[in-house]
Amino acid sequence: MASDPKTDIKDYDLFAGCTIQNRIPFLEKSARFVFEKLGFTLHDNSFGCCPDPVGVQSTDYQTWLTLGARNLALSEKSNHPIVSLCNGCTETLKAVNYELKHKKEDLEIVKKRLESVGKTYSGTAQVKHFIELLHEDIGLEAIKALVVKPLTGLKITTHVGCHYSRPSEMMQVDDAMNPRFPAEILEALGATHIDHEEADLCCTSALARNDEDASNNLMKKKYQSIIDSGAQIIAVNCPSCYQQLEVGQRSMKKAFEMIVKIPVLYVTELMALAFGASMNDIGLKYHQVKPNKLLKEFGFE
């Protein structure tokens, strides 16, 4: 192995989440490629929906706790920590552990529900966002050591998403007010990270389902900020943000006659390219906003 991660734990249960596995599975492909290169084994478990930390939690809090605790119980049984590819999934799994640690009455209800289906929850499962694992437990030097095709010259901006590091008391990752881990990973790959003024603005994925006009107006503001920054690629670490930032570009043309053609790539896709994967290896052809032409200009095949 060419790298020397800071952690001795090399086995993780992969929590890819519903959105990636059902709608954008090529993102999982890139993640598996990256972690294999880093010397990690990602195990499949019988996880279900996380479930959603906004809609499901607000609709039926006890069901949200129970389903989340079931996933955590499976991880406890496998004795592997969880690495999650999704902001929302990470938030739910960390939040359920947090809530059940502080709310004894809810804990007893959840335990009884899980016992009825043969599951035991004790609150010991560890959960990490993949960015957290890469930056904190593997480390930038180990990532740099595997780069065979640097992203030199590519100007990339990041959209980390609302649920990546907040609520901070539950997530406990990065700086909630100024998250930098994704940008630092990209810089370790040789890319030039470009800040944009509206980096903290929500992707509006949830808002778009209820108020399309409000969503479009916010998205217009965000896209204009990205265009003004000169960034060539938007890097994301959340599947909902990924979908919204791709699909939203079509909405801009329809709503405002605004042309936006900026490829949106997952951090693991950019890592995979830097680690030697071809565009075909990781399914970049399935992107709605094709990055292939731009990447070929920088020597990627």
Task: Tell me the mean pLDDT in the region 113-130.
Answer: 98
pLDDT at 4 over 90: no
pLDDT at 219 over 80: yes
CATH topology of domain 11-130: Glutathione S-transferase Yfyf (Class Pi); Chain A, domain 2 (1.20.1050)
Radius of gyration of the chain (CA): 19
Task: Tell me the mean pLDDT in the region 185-206.
Answer: 97
To the nearest 10°, report the CA torsion of 84, 85, 88, 92: -10
What integer pLDDT is reported at residue 3 of this predicted model? Answer: 54
Task: Tell me the mean pLDDT in the region 10-33.
Answer: 98
pLDDT at 214 over 70: yes
Task: Identify the band that residue 234 occupies on the pLDDT scale cut at 50, 70 and 90.
Answer: very high
Mean pLDDT of the chain: 96
Model-level pTM? 0.96
Task: Identify the band that residue 1 occupies on the pLDDT scale cut at 50, 70 and 90.
Answer: very low
Domain 147-297 classified CATH 3.40.50.300? no
Task: Tell me the mean pLDDT in the region 71-80.
Answer: 98
Task: Tell me the mean pLDDT in the region 142-170.
Answer: 96
pLDDT at 2 over 80: no
What integer pLDDT is reported at residue 96 of this predicted model? Answer: 98
Structure tokens at 157: 């901006």
To the nearest 10°, report the CA torsion of 41, 38, 171, 202: -110
pLDDT at 112 over 60: yes
The angle formed by the CA atoms of residues 101, 102 and 103, to the nearest 5 degrees, is 100
pLDDT at 217 over 80: yes
Task: Tell me the mean pLDDT in the region 235-240.
Answer: 98
% of the chain residues with pLDDT over 90: 93
From residue 60, give the alpha-carbon distance in Å to each of 87, 165, 244: 20, 24, 26
Q: Where are the domains of the chain?
A: 11-130, 147-297
What integer pLDDT is reported at residue 7 of this predicted model? Answer: 77
The whole-angstrom separation of Cα 245 and Cα 251 is 10
pLDDT at 130 over 90: yes
pLDDT at 99 over 80: yes
The whole-angstrom separation of Cα 196 and Cα 219 is 13
